[in-house]
């Protein structure tokens, strides 16, 4: 990592601290998945735990690490075509269950803008590049309430969301989803055009009001880990 990158990360972390966004310290936090991993409170996870990994893209290091190390099952979701094709090409364990479906604040279709690179799987509901000639796609999404009820889950032990800017709407409607959630892992996209750190602070405040404690922020300052207290 370059000195410039480290400097930018320190600057962003200081900015978060000035907004009062400071994680608690816990002894049971651990990273799963190496460079593309997430930090969880492993003390709350058993093989029977229900784990939703929303926004697969083209990386499942975290999911495979949980399957290998904690013997869990993963319910993974992504509605975008490049991700669906990528998953089909992988040699996956039986514990990895994939659904070509996205997570939204309500059931229906969501419009997605393509990434700038053909090799990227990061379709987003946010128009990051302000390209008027871009060809968007529509893909199916469902609310957390609908997904959990269809799968027969009353409790979700980990909800991981990397959904390219749609996380803010999902959080706004989280209290109405009628499912218990024990941990939430979120990549906040305040680096995107039209999304600010204030939007992220507001989302964190909403999670706190629902009883969630922030216990980890990644060095990149985009990945956040919460647990129910």
Task: Please give the torsion angle defined by the CA atoms of residues 60, 62, 36 and 126, in that order, rounded to the nearest 10 degrees.
Answer: 60
Q: How confident is the model at residue 33 (pLDDT cuts 50, 70, 90)?
A: very high
Q: How confident is the model at residue 27 (pLDDT cuts 50, 70, 90)?
A: very high
pLDDT at residue 1 is higher than 70? no
pLDDT at residue 200 is higher than 90? yes
| Mean pLDDT rounded to a whole number for the chain | 94
More confident residue, 127 or 67: 67
Q: Which tens digit of pLDDT belongs to each residue from 170-199?
A: 999 999 999 999 999 999 998 888 888 999
Q: How confident is the model at residue 129 (pLDDT cuts 50, 70, 90)?
A: confident
User: What is the b/e burial string over 42-61, where b = at least 16 CB atoms within 10 angstroms of the residue's CB?
Assistant: eeebeeebbbbbbbbbbbbe
pLDDT at residue 30 is higher than 70? yes
Q: What are 97's two structure tokens?
A: 């269950």
Note the pLDDT of residue 136.
Answer: 92
Mean local confidence (pLDDT), 69-90: 97
* Residue 29: other Cβ atoms inside 10 A: 17
- Using a pLDDT cut of 90, give the percent of the chain over it: 78
Q: What are 215's two structure tokens?
A: 């216990």
Q: How confident is the model at residue 7 (pLDDT cuts 50, 70, 90)?
A: confident
pLDDT at residue 212 is higher than 90? yes
Note the pLDDT of residue 192.
Answer: 84
More confident residue, 194 or 210: 210
pLDDT at residue 132 is higher than 80? no
CB 61 within 8 A of CB 223: no
pLDDT at residue 149 is higher than 80? yes
Task: Please give the torsion angle defined by the CA atoms of residues 68, 70, 71 and 72, in that order, rounded to the nearest 10 degrees.
Answer: -110
More confident residue, 11 or 127: 11
Q: What are 19's two structure tokens?
A: 């907004």
Note the pLDDT of residue 36.
Answer: 78
Residues in Cβ contact with 96 at an 8 Å cutoff, skipping those fewer than 6 apart: 60, 63, 64, 67, 73, 74, 76
Mean local confidence (pLDDT), 10-14: 90
């Amino acid at each position: 990592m370059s000195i410039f990158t480290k400097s930018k990360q320190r600057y962003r972390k200081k900015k978060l601290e000035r907004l009062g966004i400071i994680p608690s310290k816990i002894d049971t936090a651990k990273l799963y998945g190496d460079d593309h991993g997430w930090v969880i409170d492993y003390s709350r996870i058993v093989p029977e735990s229900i784990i939703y990994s929303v926004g697969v893209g083209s990386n499942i290091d975290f999911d495979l690490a949980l399957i290998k190390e904690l013997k869990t099952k993963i319910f993974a979701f992504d509605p975008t075509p490049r991700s669906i094709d990528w998953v089909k090409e992988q040699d996956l364990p039986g514990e990895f269950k994939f659904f070509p479906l996205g997570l939204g604040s309500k059931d229906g279709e969501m419009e997605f803008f393509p990434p700038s690179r053909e090799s990227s799987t990061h379709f987003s509901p946010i128009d990051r590049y302000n390209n008027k000639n871009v060809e968007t796609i529509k893909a199916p999404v469902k609310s957390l309430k609908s997904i959990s009820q269809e799968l027969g889950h009353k409790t979700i032990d980990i909800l991981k969301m990397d959904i390219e800017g749609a996380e803010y709407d999902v959080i706004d409607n989280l209290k109405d989803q009628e499912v218990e959630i024990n941990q939430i892992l979120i990549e906040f996209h305040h680096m995107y055009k039209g999304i600010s750190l204030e939007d992220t602070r507001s989302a964190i405040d909403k999670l706190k009001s629902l009883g969630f404690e922030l216990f980890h922020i990644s060095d990149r300052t985009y990945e956040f880990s919460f647990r129910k207290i």
